[in-house]
Structure 1
Amino acid sequence: MSFALLNPNVMDQRNFHPESLMMTHGYKPELSEGAIKCPIFQTSTFVFKSAEEGKSFFQVAYGKREKEPNEELGLIYSRLNNPDLQILEERLCLWDQAEECAVFESGMSAISTVMLEFLRPGDVLLYSKPVYGGTDHFINKVLPQYGINGIGFTSSQSLEEITEMVKSKGAEDKVKMVFVETPANPTNTLFDLEVCRMVADQHSRNEDKVIVCVDNTYMGPLWQHPLAHGADLVVYSATKYIGGHSDLIAGAVLGNVSLMKRVRTLRTFLGNMTGPWTGWLLMRSLETLKVRMTKQAENAEKVAGFLQNHPKVEKVYYLGNLMPGDPQYAVFKKQMTSAGAMLSFDIVGGEKEAFSFLNNLKLIKLAVSLGSTESLVEHPATMTHSDVSEEDRNLLGISEKLVRISIGVEHYSDIIWDIEQALAIDI
């Protein structure tokens, strides 16, 4: 929906880059006392000019009529729309070239809302492995309580192998969604989105289209654009790179108008949209998103190079290390514009050695989450992915010796110094 604060003509002046529009798009200062930044609209409800106007707004809000051409809809209630959220959603659409966006209270509320909207009892969800531990829990522990079952597939499985696996489980006519997290948390494993689209199309029936939903959190809105590679919906934990300062929790879903209408409707009645203060903070963060992420990626490349040659490091999981001839390299070159700022590595030894490393860091903070200005480190097997089945952890390389680092914007030499001194301590 549009409203008076939106400025539809801003794109007519020039085809500006998204980072140039993050300060202005969708906002008219003259409608807010000339404030250079959008104010925080800390209000639950909005005043109608007349009863007729209120009736008209609600007719569209509840789908009783379609919006007329050039009709500007006003504000009703902050559970339905709020200027801070509306402008934020308009700006987020620019990066992924999406038709619509909806923001949520958290990444998990975005993911769970999408799954609850497009899946019903008896349906099957095809999902990539590994995924974030919270997503894995929702798929394997929560959805089965509603008669919805998940079937996981790995990056090593071909289109034919995935198809045969689904057939062997008698689920050919039950698949309704393909959920993909790529790069995968915490191993940076890549999935070919065009193959995922083909899997979905194979199981689509007439107008009953199987939805492809991609969790793009690891790449943020800057380095990968899944909608351009066949995805129907993109989800983010906006807590991560979009927020980028470890001071908020939020999520986002993007896609075309018809699918997003369904997502927005369920969001309205679940009531899990984010509030105006968080929306304002996210708008602030979008202004520096490209600068932050670019610096983080530059730092990550240097850190990965240091780890690659360290005698106490067995293996480094970093996209920049992929080489031609590796199927993962082909996916990387096709789908991404950067190796990103996330890396993991196996320490020589096991949990004892990993914990010693974590406990002796001085600059890098031991905390879950990622994408923030400060570098963060965690132990996936006992933290973010501790609820993933032991079988899957073993299969996917989420071992006791694996450590995950989210590289921040500190000086790269200081990050490397901290890693070096922590690895040097003998136990």
Structure 2
Amino acid sequence: MMNREFHPESLMMTHGYKPELSEGAIKCPIFQTSTFVFKSAEEGKAFFQVAYGQREKEPNEELGLIYSRLNNPDLQILEERLCLWDEADECAVFESGMSAISTVMLEFLRPGDILLYSKPVYGGTDHFVNKVLPQYGIKGIGFTSTQSKEEILELVKGQEENVKMVYVETPANPTNALFDLQICREVADKLSAEDKEVVVCVDNTYMGPLWQHPLKHGADLIVYSATKYIGGHSDLIAGAVLGKSKHMVRVRTLRTFLGNMAGPWTGWLLMRSLETLKVRMTKQAENTIQVADFLQAHPKVEKVYYLGHLEEGTAQYEIFKRQLNSAGAMISFDIKGGEKEAFTFLNNLKLMKLAVSLGSTESLAEHPATMTHSDVSAEDRALLEISEKLVRISVGVEHYSDIIWDIEQALEKV
């Protein structure tokens, strides 16, 4: 019988792991160790040569274990498995989503450079772009989902040579606004030169590794808060960067010297989470259809921001059909009124938890304008519909009728 190419969800339990190297254990153990023993001085020399980029790996040569800041079996196996979903060359796991994002930006941007970034982005990313990077002489220029390729290029007219990265978060947190990755790629190519590559980096956290694959649409790098769908249980903090080898060598090298890789315990927990990733995310997406339809019909709800409700023929719908294979499990909605009504709703939830974060097994609700996006400028919040009446919900794996009951009874109190 011919060999079969298994689906990623079928490989999440076994890929990259050799039980015979771990006493036959069915699951990869936690390699809770700082350093690893070399068989000989020559072996140690060879491992360091590859790790520090002094030579390329030989064909079929595996990168030897040196020190857990450089590599650890739990992280190595996890990174190999994460590559399967996005069909990436390489992956590097970090101690948080922000450490993944900030490392990428610090590696590819230098004083005097410009970062073109989509708006809105996660509040932490917005803070790093607009409050931290300027201290290093790096300027962020934002563009919205309604702007054309020509309008985006106009934003950097006369400064084209300084643009080094196009950073895109799509769907955008918290409004589900979609950005056309083909346009972002074309903008980057237009601004690139023979001696200057403009890198396209996509934050794919909202869709997880399942529902959107940016590398297939022109991205060079993907960043994740692995805390969210990849972790999926609200019990760890982690990030990940995936992409082409030529870019990942740079990301991985800076990670080594910033020292912000995840530890073996986090790596082990993430491997556990990957085994149920597709089951969890599929259930969450199914639940979200029911919840979004309920919200859409409720008299106290003004507007629902949900990808499953996009109108056929619109630009956003066309992007959705081309780039995504699910409407996902994130909903935001405008409650009639303002902050008072939004807070009343949030304070009366019984099943759902009032907490930031997303992508976990339990449903979560929060108020972006005063919580996750409170540091975004008032001007941008107004422009991007992050108003005081906006509530964001991350739908979990509970029975959808219980989630709807909870939303209904909380809305009754408003």
TM over 0.5: yes
Residues 294-352 of structure 1 show CA distances to partners (whole Å, capped at 9, x for unaligned) of: 00000000000000010000000000000111100000000000000000000000000
Paired residues of 2:51 and 2:63 also in contact (CA < 8 A): no
Report SS of the residue matched to 1:380: coil
Matched, 1:215 2:203: yes
Aligned counterpart, 2:4: 14
Report SS of the residue matched to 1:381: coil
Instruction: State the distance in 2 between where 1:341 and 1:314 align.
Output: 20
Instruction: Map 1:88-103 to 2 at 5 A.
Output: 88-103=78-93
Matched, 1:350 2:374: no
Report SS of the residue matched to 1:190: coil
Supply the AA of the counterpart residue of 1:364: M
Residues 14-65 of structure 1 show CA distances to partners (whole Å, capped at 9, x for unaligned) of: 2100000000000011111110000000000000000111011111111111
Aligned counterpart, 1:140: 130
* Aligned counterpart in structure 1 of residue 277 of structure 2, from 289, 298, 305: 289
Residues 163-220 of structure 1 show CA distances to partners (whole Å, capped at 9, x for unaligned) of: 11211xx321110000000000000000000000001011001141100000000000
Aligned counterpart, 2:163: 175
Instruction: State the distance in 2 between where 1:138 and 1:59 align.
Output: 34
Matched, 1:129 2:134: no
Percent of residue pairs bearing the same amino acid type: 84
Matched, 1:66 2:26: no
Aligned counterpart, 1:164: 154
Instruction: Map 1:35-74 to 2 at 5 A.
Output: 35-74=25-64
Instruction: State the distance in 1 between where 2:215 and 2:257 align.
Output: 26
Instruction: Map 1:5-404 to 2 at 5 A.
Output: 13-167=3-157, 170-404=158-392
Deviates more, 1:237-246 or 1:154-163: 154-163
Report SS of the residue matched to 1:137: helix
Matched, 1:413 2:401: yes
Report SS of the residue matched to 1:173: helix
Instruction: State the distance in 2 between where 1:71 and 1:336 align.
Output: 37
Supply the AA of the counterpart residue of 1:213: C
Q: CA deviation at 1:13?
A: 3.6
Instruction: State the distance in 1 between where 2:119 and 2:265 align.
Output: 35
Residues 80-126 of structure 1 show CA distances to partners (whole Å, capped at 9, x for unaligned) of: 00000000000000000000000000000000000000000000000
Aligned residues: CA RMSD: 0.8
Deviates more, 1:97-106 or 1:68-77: 68-77
Instruction: State the distance in 1 between where 2:294 and 2:388 align.
Output: 22
CA distance 1:207–1:15, shift in 2 (3 Å): farther
Gaps of 5+ in 2: none
Q: CA deviation at 1:403?
A: 0.1
Q: CA deviation at 1:73?
A: 2.9
Report SS of the residue matched to 2:117: strand
Instruction: State the distance in 1 between where 2:159 and 2:280 align.
Output: 44
Residues 105-154 of structure 1 show CA distances to partners (whole Å, capped at 9, x for unaligned) of: 00000000000000000000000000000000000000000000000000
Report SS of the residue matched to 1:57: helix
Instruction: State the distance in 2 between where 1:364 and 1:73 align.
Output: 45
Report SS of the residue matched to 2:302: strand
Instruction: State the distance in 1 between where 2:64 and 2:142 align.
Output: 44
Report SS of the residue matched to 1:384: coil
Report SS of the residue matched to 1:332: helix
Supply the AA of the counterpart residue of 2:7: H
TM-score by length of 1: 0.96
Instruction: State the distance in 2 between where 1:72 and 1:232 align.
Output: 25
Instruction: State the distance in 2 between where 1:220 and 1:405 align.
Output: 16
Between Structure 1 and Structure 2, how many residues are aligned? 413
Supply the AA of the counterpart residue of 1:18: P
Supply the AA of the counterpart residue of 1:324: E
Instruction: State the distance in 1 between where 2:227 and 2:112 align.
Output: 32
Instruction: State the distance in 2 between where 1:282 and 1:321 align.
Output: 32
Paired residues of 2:338 and 2:389 also in contact (CA < 8 A): yes
Supply the AA of the counterpart residue of 2:9: E
Instruction: State the distance in 2 between where 1:13 and 1:249 align.
Output: 37
Q: CA deviation at 1:72?
A: 2.7
Report SS of the residue matched to 2:39: coil
Residues 367-421 of structure 1 show CA distances to partners (whole Å, capped at 9, x for unaligned) of: 0000000000000000000000000000000000000000000000000000000
Instruction: State the distance in 2 between where 1:378 and 1:387 align.
Output: 15
Supply the AA of the counterpart residue of 1:343: I
